Amino acid sequence: MNDEEKIRLENIADTEYEIFPLLKQRYSPRIFKENFLTETHTHQLFEAVRWAPSSNNLQPWRFIYGERGTDAYKEIFDCLSDFNKSWAGNAPLLVLAIYKTNLDNGDKNFHAPYDLGLSLSNMAVQAQYLGIGIHHMAGLDWKQAEKTFNVPNEYHIASALAIGYYGGDIDKLSDDLKVQEEADRKRMPLSSFAFNRSWNG
């Protein structure tokens, strides 16, 4: 068993009920192999996004991405929170996830953030199928990012993603991040969020 397989097997979720294996395997790594994503794999991630469901098929998602070593990568990295900067620089690919806030008639598209989330779920499953890990990051200065990349006013940067192949040298992480990387994966029980017939929160 190689290191990549070992890391992925150790992070399989202990689910209450059996679910699709790719969903059990998926987690948010903070360490990646140094290899760049192949062009085909990068395109496959966005092709998965392309076929995600969206309200009225409006597909309000947009993405800006850069490979490590490019100006775009550095500019995305510079917008991250200090905590995310402490580890995300080892990712081969950084991405900004964006949605269009309004409909063409000017009304607010209430469902756009939901649709972006659906598109990212598609990307996550496709990534797992390819042996690629994605870490979603809310910690970024989105105002700075929108200014840096001249994002039009009708669009909003919702999050950043660190993407790369599973694996890498965990010893490159700080001690506290090593603990988080190796910790048991936990989720709240179904009964705390799925209510039959009436609210029970």
Bridge-partner residues for 151, per DSSP?
Answer: none
Mean pLDDT (the chain) is 93
- 195 in a domain, yes or no? no
pLDDT band at 9 (very low <50, low <70, confident <90, very high): very low
- pLDDT tens for 122-167 read 999 999 999 999 999 999 999 999 999 999 999 999 999 999 999 9
**Tokens (6 digits) for 53:** 């469901």
- 133 in a domain, yes or no? yes
On whether the CB atoms of residues 4 and 60 are closer than 8 A, the answer is: no
- 60 in a domain, yes or no? yes
Percent of the chain with pLDDT over 90: 84
3-class SS string, the chain: CCHHHHHHHHCCCCCCCCCCHHHHHCCCCCCECCCCCCHHHHHHHHHHHHCCCCHHHCCCEEEEEEECCCHHHHHHHHCECHHHHHHHCCCCEEEEEEEECECCCCCECCCHHHHHHHHHHHHHHHHHHCCEEEEEECCECHHHHHHHCCCCCCEEEEEEEEEEEECCCHHHCCHHHHHHHHCCCCCCCHHHCCCCCCCCC
- 154 in a domain, yes or no? yes
- 179 in a domain, yes or no? yes
Question: pTM for the full model?
Answer: 0.92
Of the candidates 173, 148, 145, 5, the one whose C-alpha atom is nearest the C-alpha of residue 89 is: 173
**List of residues 6+ apart from 35 with CB closer than 8 A:** 92, 164, 165
Return the number of other C-beta atoms located less than 10 Å from residue 187's C-beta.
Answer: 11
- 96 in a domain, yes or no? yes
- At 51, which CATH number? 3.40.109.10
| Structural domain count of the chain | 1
- 30 in a domain, yes or no? yes
pLDDT band at 46 (very low <50, low <70, confident <90, very high): very high
- 199 in a domain, yes or no? no
Q: Print the domain residue range for 128.
A: 3-184
Locus of tokens 């840096």: 148
- pLDDT tens for 78-92 read 999 999 999 999 999
Mean pLDDT on 174-188: 88
